[in-house]
A and B are shown apart, each in its own frame.
Chain A
Amino acid sequence: MQPTLSFEQAPPISVPFRFLLTAPLFGVAAGLLLLWLGPEALASRWAPGALALTHLITTGFMLQAMCGALLQLVPVAAGGNVWRPRLVAGLVHPALIVAALSLVAAFLSMRPPLFVSAAVLFAAALGFYLSVVGIAVLRTSAQGATVLALRIALLGLAATAVLGATLAVGFGLRLELPLIELANIHTVWGLGGWSMVLLTGISYLLVPMFQLTPAYPLRMAFAVPTALFAASALASLQLAGNLRWLGEVGAFLALAAAVGYAITSLWLQRRRRRKLTDSTFHLFRSAMIAILLTFASCVAFEFVPALGEHPRAPVWLGILVLFGVFTLAINGAVYKIVPFLNWLHLQRRGVTAGAAPNMKQMIAESAIRRQARLQLAAVGLLLAAVLVPELTRPAGALLAASFALLEANLIAGVKVYLRVSRAIQAA
Chain B
Amino acid sequence: MSGPRIIDGRNLLPPEPLELTIDALESLSDGEYLTLLLYCQPHPLYEILRRDGYLWEENLQADGTREIRIRKATAGR
Contacts and interface: CB of A to CB of B under 8 A. Distances in A.
A273 interface: yes
Given A1-B56, A354-B23, A359 B14 contact: yes
A353 B23 contact: yes
A5 B43 contact: yes
B54 to A, nearest CB: 10
Contacts of A340: 14-15
Nearest to B11: A273
Nearest to A76: B43
Given A2-B58, A274-B11, A353-B19, A209 B40 contact: yes
Interface residues of B, number: 25
Given A76-B43, A209-B40, A347 B22 contact: yes
A210 interface: yes
Contacts of B56: 1-2
B23 A1 contact: no
Contacts of A208: 39-40
Interface string A176-217: 000000000000000000000000000001001110100100
Nearest to A215: B64
Given A273-B10, A273-B11, A347-B48, A1 B43 contact: no
B13 A4 contact: no
A343 B11 contact: no
B11 A353 contact: no
A215 B10 CA distance: 11
A361 B48 CA distance: 23
Interface of A: 1-2, 4-5, 7, 10, 75-77, 79, 142, 205, 208-210, 212, 215, 273-274, 276, 340, 343-344, 347-348, 352-354, 358-359
Interface of B: 10-11, 13-15, 18-20, 22-23, 39-41, 43-44, 46-50, 55-58, 64
9 contacts: A2-B56, A77-B43, A205-B40, A212-B11, A343-B15, A347-B48, A348-B48, A352-B22, A353-B19
